[in-house]
Amino acid sequence: MTRTQVAIIGAGPSGLLLARLLGRHGIDSTIVEQRSRAYVESRIRAGLLERSTVELLDECGVGARLHAEGLVHDGVRLAFAGQVHRLDLRELAGHPMTVYGQTELTKDLGEALARAGARLVYEAERVAVHEPDGPRPRVSYELAGVEHELECDFIAGCDGFHGVCRASVPAAAIKLYERVYPFGWLGVLAEVPPVDDELIYANHARGFALCSMRSRERSRYYVQCPLDDRVESWPDARFWDELRARQPSHEAGRLITGPSIEKSIAPLRSFVAEPMRFGRLFLVGDAAHIVPPTGAKGLNLAAADVRVLYQGLVEHYRGGATRLLDEYSARALSRVWKATRFSWWFTSVMHRFSDDSFAYKLQLAELEYLIDSPAASRAFAENYVGLDFPA
C-alpha cells in the first residue's frame, strides 16, 4: 500500500488543476485516471474561460501560453430576427472572457505537473473508493494486471458524470436533480478562420446555432439537432448549409467553410447532485453537476469547485482547521445552482423546443427585452462572465 495526502480520481482539467495548486502549497497528491494521457489530452471540450478561471491558472503558474495565444473577448453577439446585437461584456460587467481550448489547458497542466514530478497514474483499471466516511479512506486500482492500493487523508472525485466516485455514494445519502433536453448539439471543428471576432449565439426558426472558435485559424461551430440524429447523416456540405441558413445574411455571407477535422453530437442536460461532500470524499466538476454548454459554464464551474476545495485543504494542512472543508458543499453548490439557472434560461430562450409559434414569439420578445433593457443586459453580462465568489 502506498500513501498520499490527497487521492485525486480523474486527470481531466479539474483533477490536474487541483493537483497543481496543492503541489504549490506543499500538499502531496496522486492522480488516478482510467484513460491514457493521450486520450485525456485529445478530448475536444470547452474553450471559453471566465476571469476567475484565468486567475486560478495564473495562480498555479500555467497561464503564460494562455495569455500569449488565448483570444480575449470584450463582447458577445446575439443573433435573432435577422439581426445581430452586440453586448459589451467589459462595459456591462467589468470583465471579458478568454477563448482557450480545453485541450491546450489540459496539456499545459499536464506538462507542469510532469516537470514538478507529480504522481499521475494513467490507464488504471477497476478503480474503486473504500471507506470514504472513515478516518483512513483508500483508493484501489489495477495497473498492468497488478493490484494497487492508495491510502490517503481525502479523496477528490474529479472523474466526471460516469465516474466511480459519485456511484460509490449510498443512494440514501445523495439527492439528484436532472433535466434532460429534447435535442443535441452537432459540433464541427474545422481549420478555417472564424466568421466573427466574437461568439455569435443564434436563435432561428430552424433551431439554435453557435459560431465559436479555438484560435484565429480554427473554428468551432454548432447547430441544434434531434437527439436521434447520427453524425453520418451530417456530411460537411449539409452542416455548412444549415449553419449558413441559421445566420443573418451578413454573417452567412462571410462564413468560410472547409473539411471538418472533428464532428460529434452532444446531448444536453442539467444535473446537480447534493451534497458534494461525503465524509472525506469530495465531488468536483462533472462528478457533481452538468450544465448545457450554452454559456460555457461547465469547465468554469469545475474550476470554481477546485478553488473552494483547494483553499479548504490548504487551511487544513497549514493549521488543522476544517471550516472551509466543512463549508465546501454549501459554498460550491451556491455557485453551481446560479450557473445552472443561467444555463437553463439561456438554453430555453435560444433553442427551438417545438413548432409552437407562440413560444417562438415569446423567445423573440425575451431577446428584444434583453437587448433594449440596460438592467437586463447587465444581468446577462454578469452571469455570462461569471459571478463573484462569496466572501
Query: What average pLDDT does range 344-354 have in this prediction?
Result: 97
Residues with Cβ within 8 Å of 12's Cβ and at least 6 positions away in sequence, in order, are 40, 43, 106, 158, 159, 160, 285, 286, 302
Four-residue CA torsion sign, 308, 313, 319, 320: positive
Q: Which of 181, 201, 221, 328 is catalytic?
A: 201
The torsion angle over the Cα atoms of residues 259, 265, 268 and 274, rounded to 10 degrees, is: -110
Q: Which of 141, 293, 316, 351 is catalytic?
A: 293
pLDDT band with cut points at 50, 70 and 90 for residue 385: very high
What confidence score (pLDDT) does residue 391 get? 58
This prediction has a pTM of 0.96
**CB atoms near residue 72 (< 10 Å):** 13
Q: Which of 95, 289, 297, 316 is catalytic?
A: 297
pLDDT in tens, 152-174: 999 999 999 999 999 999 999 99
pLDDT surpassing 80 at residue 46: no
pLDDT in tens, 307-338: 999 999 999 999 999 999 999 999 999 999 99
pLDDT in tens, 75-130: 999 999 999 999 999 999 999 999 998 899 999 999 999 999 999 999 999 999 99
pLDDT in tens, 297-310: 999 999 999 999 99
What confidence score (pLDDT) does residue 390 get? 63
Q: Which of 141, 181, 221, 384 is catalytic?
A: 384
390 is catalytic: no
141 is catalytic: no
193 is catalytic: no
Whole-number Å distance between alpha carbons of 229 and 185: 10
On average, the pLDDT of the chain sits at 96
Whole-number Å distance between alpha carbons of 284 and 305: 6
Q: Is domain 2-52+66-71+99-177+269-351 in CATH 3.50.50.60, yes or no?
A: yes
What confidence score (pLDDT) does residue 263 get? 96
pLDDT band with cut points at 50, 70 and 90 for residue 45: confident
